[in-house]
Amino acid sequence: MKNTLSDKGKKNVFAKNRISPVVSNFHQSIVGAVIWLYIFVLAFQTFRNFTKALKAVARLWRFTRKYRGTSRLKLARVDKRYYWDLNNPSFPSLAFKNNMKDELQRINKNLLVKGKLTTMILSVTNNCVLACEHCSEWNCRNEKESLSKKDLALIVKKFQEYGVAQIQISGGEPLLRFDDLVELIKSAKQGTDFWLLSSGVGLTKEKAVRLKQAGLTGVVLSLDHFDPDKHNSFRGNRRSFAWVEKAVQNVSSAHLVLALSLCATKHFVSSENLLKYAKLAREFGASFIRIVEAQAQGRYEGKDVALSEAQQHILDQFFLKMSLDNKYRSMPILEYHGYYQRRIGCFSAGNRWLFVDGNGNMHACPFCRNKEHRNVISGSLGEMIEALKLEGCPKTRNASF
């Protein structure tokens, strides 16, 4: 198997510069206790009642256990902040404080408070230099830009006023609008974490630093195989793996949080492949691995790409092993939506997160497109989100809390 990391010099570069951002058990215990204490203080400030605050935190603890299969928080530390989930803001931060207040209000059924959004995924372009096997934007790939800089700024402003805690910027390839990205993030108000979802194309050290200075929190790089040739084939470009390698170094050197995103296909999912991927992610110094199951959307539309129950079980067990087993303590934090979706429901469709496409239209998520035309620029955001919630996720039930 050909693997660029087999080159001794290149491996030494990663080994020298990569210290696992995942903290030790002792460190985790201390910080975890501080986070839960902080949440209790917020609960007491919210409810002004010790008993109500305690019950609210206890229910949140139980919900976390259902969501992650454990109440234990595996933590990564980057640039003096702690991270445990790609869809939750970092601690300590204003975004975390505001989002947690909202979560606590959701818990108290006596409060008629409409839950706000944790995450909004915003596609800033349909353009891309790759031809990915699973591309969800295939039907509109490389169409003329629809959203101007002014449109993007308006969308961000509306969602920030609504109270979104996190905005993940996607495409196409969002780096193709690099200058617009920098301006968009820099002009946003405080209280929202910004992430970039990218293939790594052209992410130089200078660009990574500029994004960090503008206020970017982290980068989620798409890497769909540990074997360079297989990744390149999946992405439709023989240079794709090398771009990821360079982006990995530049993201880390700019003190941005690094995550890797894997599209889990029928051909890939096995315990052996998953472990090899995780080991490579650790070598890269990643804080997170995000696993997304292949969906019959975009280029995969009409194709039999759904994982078998046996493969889903493999992913479930891998998720729990990476989260709980001390043997894999230094491995990146694993995020796998399928685990909680099959147990407690989906957080999309405005429940906690949603997707805005390259034309400014709102959908449940990038893989579940709504037929109803809801344009964020011209419509009333609050009304559209409530309507989206009523429709729910097209494929599964929404999470009840």
With beta carbons less than 8 A apart as the criterion, state whether 225 and 231 touch.
yes
β pairing state of 353-356 and 166-170: unpaired
DSSP-based three-state secondary structure for 370: coil
Q: What is the DSSP letter of 328?
A: G
With a cut of 90, say whether residue 372 has pLDDT above it: no
With a cut of 60, say whether residue 17 has pLDDT above it: no
With a cut of 60, say whether residue 13 has pLDDT above it: no
Strand partners, 219: 196, 258
Length of the chain: 401
Give the model's pLDDT for residue 100: 92
DSSP-based three-state secondary structure for 6: helix
Report CA torsion sign: 24, 28, 29, 30.
positive
Proportion of the chain above pLDDT 90, given as a percent: 65
With a cut of 60, say whether residue 10 has pLDDT above it: no
With beta carbons less than 8 A apart as the criterion, state whether 395 and 349 touch.
no
β pairing state of 216-222 and 333-336: unpaired
Confidence of residue 109 (pLDDT cuts 50, 70, 90): low
With a cut of 60, say whether residue 166 has pLDDT above it: yes
With a cut of 90, say whether residue 368 has pLDDT above it: no
Give the model's pLDDT for residue 396: 78
Report CA torsion sign: 300, 303, 309, 314.
negative
Annotated domain spans of the chain: 25-107, 114-391
Q: Where are the beta strands (DSSP E) in 98-205?
A: 119-123, 166-170, 193-198
**Range with the largest mean pLDDT of 62-76, 210-224, 322-336, 376-390:** 210-224
Topology of 114-391 in CATH? TIM Barrel (3.20.20)
With beta carbons less than 8 A apart as the criterion, state whether 231 and 240 touch.
yes
Instruction: For residue 20, give the nearest of 285, 220, 278 by alpha carbon.
Output: 285
Q: What is the pLDDT of residues 199-257, one digit of tens each?
A: 999 999 999 999 999 999 999 999 999 999 999 999 999 999 999 999 999 999 999 99
Q: Spell 165-175 as b/e; 16+ CB within 10 A means b.
A: bbbbbbbbbbb
